[in-house]
Amino acid sequence: MSERLQPGDVAPDFTLQDADGTEVSLADHKGRKVIVYFYPAALTPGCTKQACDFTDNLELLTGAGYDVLGVSPDKPEKLAKFRDKESLKVTLLADPEKTVTEAYGAYGEKKNYGKTYMGVIRSTIIVDEEGKVERALYNVRATGHVAKVIKDLGI
């Protein structure tokens, strides 16, 4: 189990490839707030719902000063397929080694249908302009989560 982040922690910096293989770093977003969300797998129903919700609200979020980065263990090629199939506008990042997912506390024990296994814990970390954790939300639901984030942030 990886250590969960708390508000006030310095958000671990990272550089990952996006769906096109371009490197994206958290440091690239310094001076803006960043919503970093972790999801288990591209092209699955819950993750598609969540990514579409972020895409549908992206203009509202960016207008309020937030950039949105979605992180999963998928390879860039699968992320590109996901983005194109669902017309996603959020930046999707590949973390196949799960190093960033673990650094953010979004990897650990999960239970499903009575089975316990290790996997990506659906999580959203909101990082402020200075690179500090403003909010750390773990075990979030795919459906309705984006609306809750927008409400909680007062956007």
**CA atoms within 13 A of residue 108's CA, in its CB half-sphere:** 13
Catalytic residue selected from 47, 61, 71, 125: 47
Write the Ramachandran bin of 116: left for phi over 0, alpha for psi from -120 to 50, otherwise beta. beta
Quick one: which of 71, 126, 75, 121 has its CA closest to 93? 71
47 is catalytic: yes
Instruction: Give the list of residues 6+ apart from residue 155 with CB closer than 8 angstroms, or none.
Output: 60, 61, 64, 66
SS3 state at 57: coil
Which residues lie below 8 Å from residue 1, measured CB to CB, with a gap of 6+? 107, 108, 109
Beta bridge partners of 92: 70
> Any idea what DSSP says for residue 13?
P
Q: Which residues are catalytic?
A: 47
